[in-house]
Structures are given as C-alpha cells and as structure tokens.
Structure 1
C-alpha cells in the first residue's frame, strides 16, 4: 500500500474518532503532497512522499524550537503533537551506529579522501537514509571524517 493511501486511511480513521489535531495534520500532509503533484503533473512515489513528510517534520522542529525560545509553550505543544503524528508515517530512524557504518561505507565506496569529495559522499548517502536520518548531522559526521 502506498504511503498516500496510508495517509488517506488514517485521515478517515481520525475523522471517525473525531481527533482534530491528527485529522488536521494528516490533511496538511496530503495537501502538501497534492500541491507537489499538481505542480509537477506527476504522481509522487513513496520516496518522494517521504521526502515531503521529512521536510514537514523538519519545519515543525524549527518552529518548536522558536516557540520554546519565545516561551510560547501552547504553540510548541501543538508542533510537538504534529511531529509525533507525521513521524508515524516515516521509516524507522537509523541509530548513530548505523549512520556511522553507512558513512564509512560510502567514504570507502567513493574513495573519498578530502573535503572536496564530500558532495559525492552526501549524494551517495542521501537515497539510503531518506527520511531515516537528519542530513545535517550526517554532513557534520562526514566532515569530521574527511578532515
């Protein structure tokens, strides 16, 4: 079953259960997917849908940090709930050890030896960790290993 169909099924369940936050979050995710499909005139694959959901989670984490810093705990709580709902549709996150192993394997595979090769390593890793790890932390790990 495709990820979009899972989202639609969960939206129906949220409607039946009258869970407003969950329903609103799932509708927002489906709207983002639909917007990209309309813009590109093609149906998104599961990987592309995961990328959209990952971007939405990242945006909410940024908002959560800003709301918490401003002392707006009510808004921060809403963002935290939306993150939890969206993360249920993403693949299981990788552990630090798994990420380190993938980084090491990609560095060896690309024969990377300097910072000039960082882009090649990131390009090789991105499809492997899509939605399962933060690319910023992976970039920092690659940078540390290539220096």
Structure 2
C-alpha cells in the first residue's frame, strides 16, 4: 500500500479508536503534505507528490521534533519533550527502516566503489548518490563525516 493510503487509513483508524494523540499527529502529517502540494501547484508540476517527497516531508518533521524535544529538555519542560518524542515515534512508523551503523558503513563503501570515488573532491557525488539510494533510511548529517573520513583514507 502506498504511503498516502497508509496515512489516510491510519487517520480513520485513529478516529474510530478515539486515539487523540495519534490522530493529532496524523493530522499534522496530512497538513504538512497538503501545504507542500499547494506550494508545488504554482510551479511546472500539478502538485502531485511522489513517495520520495512524502518520505522527505516525514523525515523533516522528525528532525524538527527532535530539535524541539532537545530544546524542551534543556529548558526543563519534560512534559513537552515527551510529547515531541511520542510524535516522533508515530511519524517514524511511516518512514522506511533506518540503517544501523554497519549497514550505513556498507552503503557508503558500496557507493564509493560504484562511483570510483578516490578523493575528497568526489564527496558531493557520493552524498548525492547516497541520498538517491537511501532516502529516508539514514541520517545524512551523520553520514557526511563518515564519507569524508572514508575518502581521506
């Protein structure tokens, strides 16, 4: 089932179950998707989002909530940090499985070998290819230093 259909079905299920926290998060996801579609209508596309676009929206939402949770924890607002963490868990249910450390290292090595990357000048190409192959599956902020270290060796 495609991601959009999964989200719509989950929203209906949350309404039926009267799960207000889950329903609220799913409605936030729906609003973010709708906002992005509206923003795209003015361009050369007809406002239709691909699965990759939806994964990118969800990934961005997770990152925003992680930053908010961290800020709340630093500010001593643990109840708000917990709310953000709960939203993260719900959103992550609809993202592809995240690669672990070993899988990330293996993916980096594979892309470097496939592209024949030999030095730091190839870092942009390697990162771009990682984004294509593993969108939504890895933290590219953490992968960047690993790619750089690998290319410098």
Which interval holds the TM-score relative to the shorter structure?
over 0.9
Question: What is the TM-score of this pair, normalised by structure 1?
Answer: 0.96
- 2:99 pairs, out of 84, 87, 94, with 94
Aligned residues: 147
What TM-score results when the alignment is normalised by the length of structure 2? 0.92
Aligned-partner Cα distance in 2 for 1:16–1:77: 25
Superposition deviation, residue 141 in structure 1: 0.7
CA deviations on 1:97-126 (whole Å, 9 max, x unpaired) are 111111011111222222211100001110
Q: Secondary structure of 2:144's match?
A: helix
RMSD: 1.0
Equivalent positions of 1:1-147 (< 5 A) are 1-41=1-41, 42-147=47-152
- Long gaps (5+) in structure 1: none
5+ residue gaps, structure 2, are: 42-46
Q: Give me the whole-angstrom Cα distance separating, in 2, the residues matched to 1:60 and 1:80.
A: 7
Displacement over 3 Å in runs of 4+: none
